[in-house]
A = this chain, B = another copy of it.
Amino acid sequence: MKILETRTAPNPRRVRIFLAEKGIPMTYEDYEIGNLKTPEFTALNSFQRVPVLVLDDGTAISETMAICRYFEAIQPEPALFGQGAKAQAIVEMWNRRVELNLLACVAQAFRHLHPAMAKLEVPQVAAWGEANKPKALEALEKIDAALAASRYIAGDTYSVADITLLVAIDFMRPARIQRPENLKNLARWYDDVQARPSAKA
């Protein structure tokens, strides 16, 4: 079993943190983000994205959350997608909220404004990149408000939604979006989650 990834990209980092929290060792192969269109890589993932998990039987699983859920299924503890129907729904709700309203916006700002992405994001639409910055800030305010009521974003237990949030916030740096200092609940949460050993994965 191995994972093909791009070391510096945010989605592979989500998987590495997830596996670190589970205590699952893994073999990683690093691919340059510009080298995902080769026939060999395309045969593993026709959508030409990282990460890709290759199982011992040759099955290739792409999509970050599909990979994480595979490991949740084969090693349920510690539960990172919640336990029980209601808690699982709340984790999924928060993971999706963070993905769709924060991580996606940060990624769009990065992809449409950063000169290094000009060859990969065609066409770069600068006005769309800029439009995503206030969207990301609005999401951060809602997340800060939610963190007034609980230690972690989906309740009092650390979950995959915290992983997505940590990675999204750290991705704001290359996307040149500054975390507002007045978001004190978010700051408290960030210091807490960022201090976990898994954050270095």
Q: Within 8 Å of chain B (Cβ to Cβ): is A201?
A: no
CB contacts under 8 Å to B, within A17-68, are 46-47, 53, 55, 59, 61-63, 65-67
What number of copies of this chain does the assembly contain?
2
* Contact of A63 with B96 at beta-carbon distance under 8 Å, contacts A70-B89, A85-B70, A125-B128 already known: yes
Among A47, A93, A100, A128: residue with most chain B CB under 10 A: A93
Q: A128 to B125: give the CA distance in the assembly, Å.
A: 6
* Cβ–Cβ < 8 Å partners of A63 in chain B: 92-93, 96-97, 100
Question: A138's closest neighbor in chain B, by CB?
Answer: B47
Q: A55 to B89: give the CA distance in the assembly, Å.
A: 12
Contact A66 B92 (CB under 8 A): yes
| Chain A residue total in the interface (Cβ 8 A) | 36
Q: Within 8 Å of chain B (Cβ to Cβ): is A7?
A: no
Q: Within 8 Å of chain B (Cβ to Cβ): is A115?
A: no
Q: A65 to B137: give the CA distance in the assembly, Å.
A: 24
The 4 closest A-B pairs by CB, nearest first: A73-B85, A66-B92, A66-B93, A128-B128
Q: Within 8 Å of chain B (Cβ to Cβ): is A9?
A: no
Q: A128 to B86: give the CA distance in the assembly, Å.
A: 37
Contact B101 A89 (CB under 8 A): no
Q: Mark A80-106, 1 if CB is under 8 A from B, else 0.
A: 000011101110110011001100000
